[in-house]
Structure 1
Amino acid sequence: MTNDDDSRTLIFDRDTDNLQELSEYLDVLSSSTRLKILKVIERSPKDVRQISAAIETSYENTKKHLDKLLSIGVVKKEAGLSRPTAKGIHPVWKYSLVPGGLEAITRSLGLFSNLQLTLTDAVLAKRLAGVREAFSGEFSGQPPVAILLGGPEDGRAFPLGHDAIAIGRADPDAPGRAGQNIVLGEEYAAVTRVSRPHARLTRSRDGAWLIEDCGSTGGTFVNGTPLDRSMRRELHDGDLVELAKGAAGATLVLVLPGGAPVRDAA
């Protein structure tokens, strides 16, 4: 990744398996039927017959789609009991989302598409954009989130549910702040405590998200560019926000549904 504010580019080494693994991941999520299955089991476990009835396809076809979803780790199956029938109640496999499964998909698609991969395979780039659009459409209504990258809390998602959100490290003297703010663990030692925030997110009347540095020691950077103290900068879908530099800092990727469109990959 470069420090150029307009590039935000991650480059794959063609000798690695990253592109092949990404292609396989997209193969699983590119099916509208599989996305419907995720929606059906989003709130409660269901067996294959219940799922097949809900998505209006055969038992055999449903089972094949579930096996694909199991392969990427977003669905799990556990023994349960069937609904009562004339033959009684019997054990069945019930399928459900793994905890944080939808967030994991959002994070994965966000990292690969929002951070603007330079893909030599243009077809793969278009597939990536299409899968993300389909996933967002099926699970519309989700709030914008900031996803933590790296460190012991890697992958943690913070929904942006308030118009003003302080960002900082946990403060023992202000334990009640975690509910409406982004509060990080002690391991992110270069981040200022939340009682005197490192940075602050605010939502404008037109729905845009802005970030400002609140006088932190380590600084706040958007796509590698430092913010001046008390300077507000508008954020867009896929922007990287760094709170201080180095291993003790923290990096957030912003996933803002309905935000500014991401440029096509080069």
Structure 2
Amino acid sequence: MPDDTYKTIVSDDESGFFENLSEYLNVLGNPTRLKILKLIENNPKDIREISGGIETSYENTKKHLDKLLRIGIIKKEAGMGKPTSKGIHAVWKYSTIPGGMELVARNIGNFCNMEIKNPDIQERLQNIRKMIDDEMAGDMPVLVLLGGEDDGRAYILKRNESKLGRYDPTAKGLFDEDSDIVLKDSYRAVTRVSKPHAVIFKDKEYWLIKDAGSAGGTFLNNHDLIKSSGAILKDGDMIDLGKGEGKATLVFHQKKSQNS
């Protein structure tokens, strides 16, 4: 779990906050709405296209979209529909706001780090965090960052090998911004990605992680990895890059079917 350093205490008498949070969770707690977010993340779609993608009625789809619009996670813009026998007509195209899915994951992560005393809200937050991890990952494994400036951010493992490290502005071209996991400079215990700190890679059906000669070390479930030796990852494994203040903790998430 994240260190207490990153906890925010919220008192139960802040009713306005909890009313807004409850509405936010009610919207995101529906698996169908998370599927909609994933469906329109990269390609704007009209209601009929979304309805077909999530296999529900036009009317229900519109209700889901209205709720997502209300909390500001998606936007709609005028566009052109598919050609029909009656010609081409103007439609509303829906899409997530820039970085929408990552923003949702980050918000939920921040809420999880608050010391909220209401057990119902705590349970809903944890359930939604799990659903978001699943939707963001799809069939690909994902690493979720716990604690620090980017708590709750999810990194999808898009390729069979990814470097893990801290951002290095002088190392353009030495890492892939799309597939490598690059942490902000506030994670000071993590070696810069140009070194890098660690490497995560796929070998046949397994995903493994190895330390790449970092100064602070790489730890898998609190076990210090031997330098340059790969360790097999399982769903739920916790990875620590470095020690103490400025370290980065990531949870490896992989669908169970992928582990078999």
State the distance in 1 between where 2:8 and 2:228 align. 31
Q: Secondary structure at the match of 2:174?
A: helix
More contact order relative to length (CA 8 Å, sep ≥ 6) = 1
Matched AA of 1:34: R
1:57-206 mapped onto 2 (5 Å cutoff): 57-59=57-59, 61-113=60-112, 119-138=116-135, 140-147=138-145, 158-160=155-157, 161-163=159-161, 165-170=163-168, 172=170, 175-178=173-176, 181-184=180-183, 192-197=191-196, 199-202=197-200
Confirm or deny that 1:37 pairs with 2:33.
no
Matched AA of 1:56: T
State the distance in 1 between where 2:135 and 2:144 align. 20
1:78–1:95 Cα contact (<8 Å) kept: yes
Report the aligned-residue RMSD.
4.6
1:241 CA displacement: 4.6
TM-score for both structures, normalised by structure 1: 0.64
- Identity, % of aligned positions: 35
- Number of residue pairs matched by the alignment: 246
1:242 CA displacement: 6.4
State the distance in 2 between where 1:156 and 1:131 align. 14
Q: Secondary structure at the match of 2:75?
A: strand
- Relative to structure 1, the CA distance from residue 235 to residue 196 in structure 2 (aligned partners, 3 Å threshold; closer, same or farther) is farther
* Structure 1 unpaired stretches of 5+: 260-266
State the distance in 2 between where 1:189 and 1:10 align. 19
- Relative to structure 1, the CA distance from residue 253 to residue 30 in structure 2 (aligned partners, 3 Å threshold; closer, same or farther) is same
Matched AA of 1:159: I
State the distance in 2 between where 1:237 and 1:229 align. 21
* Structure 2 unpaired stretches of 5+: none
- Relative to structure 1, the CA distance from residue 185 to residue 127 in structure 2 (aligned partners, 3 Å threshold; closer, same or farther) is closer
* Number of the residue aligned with 1:56: 56
1:143–1:159 Cα contact (<8 Å) kept: yes
1:158 CA displacement: 3.9
State the distance in 2 between where 1:185 and 1:3 align. 18
* Number of the residue aligned with 2:253: 256
TM-score for both structures, normalised by structure 2: 0.65
Q: Secondary structure at the match of 2:123?
A: helix
1:135 CA displacement: 4.1
State the distance in 2 between where 1:141 and 1:183 align. 22
1:47–1:95 Cα contact (<8 Å) kept: yes
1:235-254 mapped onto 2 (5 Å cutoff): 237=236, 241=240, 249=246, 251=248, 253-254=250-251
1:169–1:188 Cα contact (<8 Å) kept: no
* Number of the residue aligned with 1:264: none
